Amino acid sequence: MSGADDNLAHDADDLGYQLGRLQRVRERTVHQLGWRGADGLEMAAYRCVFAVLELGPMRSGALAEAVLADPSTVSRHVAQLVALGHLERRPDPADGRATVIAATAAGRAAAGRMRARRNERLATVIGDWPRQDRQELVRLMTRLLDDYELRREDLLAEALDRVGQGAVEP
């Protein structure tokens, strides 16, 4: 490897370590506090509410794709959220035989409360940072996630190809 490639590999390793660390700290904190979303649901269920609020009403399959989850898991979450009144099923305007999932006023309120609590926790963590550093973190995280989403399908295809060739790990 050339020096530039060595630096890239090193930087990717450092970033991977820090992302893993962030995930572990967050998961451990959530577990230790027994955090659940409003109404005691798994936090993952509320990703469905947030996705519908961000992207608008959609079919269940599209929702599963939007939250990068298995359709059966999304179906279970949607059923719970409909029963609680946070989501509702409406006739699909494009095909009256199908339904779309839409957020209700109660769902918007629950999401607002969860977002406010999340923002309070994050503000506690970054409250002592200079504003320029906070803005730079958001800019770089946005760039990282945008690029990851842009390359996600290629990464999946490469991993599946390695598995197809008998690799132990993707």
The domains of the chain are located at: 1-35, 40-127, 129-170
Q: 106 with 84: CB under 8 angstroms? A: yes
Question: pLDDT tens for residues 9-22?
Answer: 999 999 999 999 99
* CATH number for the domain formed by residue range(s) 40-127: 1.10.10.10
Specify whether the CB–CB gap between 48 and 81 falls below 8 A.
Answer: yes
d(CA 118, CA 131): 19
The C-alpha angle 23, 28, 30, rounded to 5 degrees, equals 95
Question: Quick one: DSSP state of residue 58?
Answer: B
CA 28 to mean position of chain CA atoms: 17
**Cα four-point dihedral sign 126, 131, 136, 139:** positive
Joined tokens for residue 50: 């947030």
Q: Is pLDDT at 103 greater than 90 in this prediction?
A: yes
pTM (two decimals): 0.78
Q: Are 61 and 68 in contact (CB under 8 A)?
A: no
Query: How far apart (Å, rounded) are the C-alpha atoms in residues 108 and 4?
Result: 48
Residues in the chain: 170
Beta strand pairing call for 95-103 and 87-92: antiparallel
Tell me what the mean pLDDT of segment 41-45 comes to. 79
Residue range 109-124, pLDDT digits in tens: 989 988 998 899 999 9
